Structures are given as structure tokens and as C-alpha cells.
Amino acid sequence: MALLDILCFPDDRLRTRAKPVKTITARHQQLLDDMLETMYAAPGIGLAATQINVHEQVIVIDISEDKTEPYCLINPVVISHSGIETMEEGCLSVPDTYAEVERADSVVVKYLDRKGAEQKLEADGLLAVCLQHEIDHLKGKLFVDYISKLKRDRIRKKLVKQQRQM
């Protein structure tokens, strides 16, 4: 397994739209393992392949406290949603930044698991928010896109300055 580098906002590569996975191969098994390791080490509760500069529709999520409930989702699609809720979000690609984002309160997501079997996941609360946040990444969208341009520009300046200092 390997720790992967995570792209940081405002890196343009985070704006790439990921392609669907046609055939799940050994490379994807390795990718999922590396993504889980990278997410746990960060530490974070979700990671999309886009964030590690792989532009395929693959995400991993684990919102459990003891990191024992990993979800690996390939080609995830929200097939229904309901309700509205606002939650404070952060992102491994937008370090040290948090903002309230309004999203659906519950979602049903269909996806392929790592064996290629079709699955359906009904989620609400934090898991629903996390799924929507990660699926957004696959579309080149970030949580800071939901806040005002003024705030987003302020975050961009802060992170560009930080990245220059590193």
C-alpha cells in the first residue's frame, strides 16, 4: 500500500470530471487500498480519486469512529434524495477550512462495490453529506463552490500563500 499525494485547492486538476470505470481491474483494487490508507492517515472520512489526480469515478468513505466501516464506491450515482440540511464541512483538498453547506438530508446512491456487484446505499445525516461531497469531487466540484465568491477568494488567497511557503 502507499500514501498518495492529495491535490489542494485551487489546483485546476480538482476541476476534472472523472470518467466511469468500465472494468474493475487489479489496478483498481490497489487504488482503493491506497485511497483508504491515504484517507485514514490524513485523517479524513472521505476521499475521491479526483483528489489524488486519478480521474475515474471512485470514492472511499468511512465515518465510523474506529475506522472499521469502509465503503468503496465505484461509479456512484445519487438516484434519489429528500429533505434539506446544513452541516459544517471540510475537505482534505481545502486544508484548515470549514464552511456550512446546504445539501439533501437523505440520499439513495447506487454504485458498484469493489467486486463489481451493484449496490444501493440509503443514507442520511453525516453519511449522506459525505456521499454528496465525494460525488461532487468526481464532477470537479468542491464544497467551497457553495459559499460566496468573496469567501472563496479569501480561502484561495490563504491557501496559495500557504502552498508557496511549503
Count of CA atoms in the C-beta half-sphere (13 A) of 13: 14
Which residues of the chain form contacts with Ni ion (CB under 5 A)? 91
CB of 91 to Ni ion, least distance (A): 3
Smallest gap from Cβ 118 to Ni ion, in A, equals 25
Centre a 10 Å sphere on the Cβ of residue 16 and count the other Cβ atoms it contains.
16
Whole-angstrom distance, CA of residue 2 vs CA of residue 5: 10
H or E, element range at 33 = helix 26-41
Catalytic pick among 69, 88, 102, 134: 134
For Ni ion, the closer CB: 91 or 159: 91
C-alpha cell of residue 137: 469531487
Is the CB of 91 or the CB of 131 nearer to Ni ion?
A: 91
DSSP designation for 141: -
Rank residues 49 and 91 by Cβ distance to Ni ion and give the closer one: 91
Helices (H) and strands (E) in the chain, counts: 3, 7
Smallest distance from Ni ion to CB 2, Å: 20
Q: Which residue is nearest to Ni ion (CB)?
A: 91
Residue 134 designated active-site: yes
How does DSSP assign 12-24, residue by residue?
A: GGGGPPPBPPSS-
Tell the smallest beta-carbon distance from residue 115 to Ni ion (Å): 26
Give 32 or 45: the residue with its C-beta nearer to Ni ion: 45
Catalytically active residues are 134
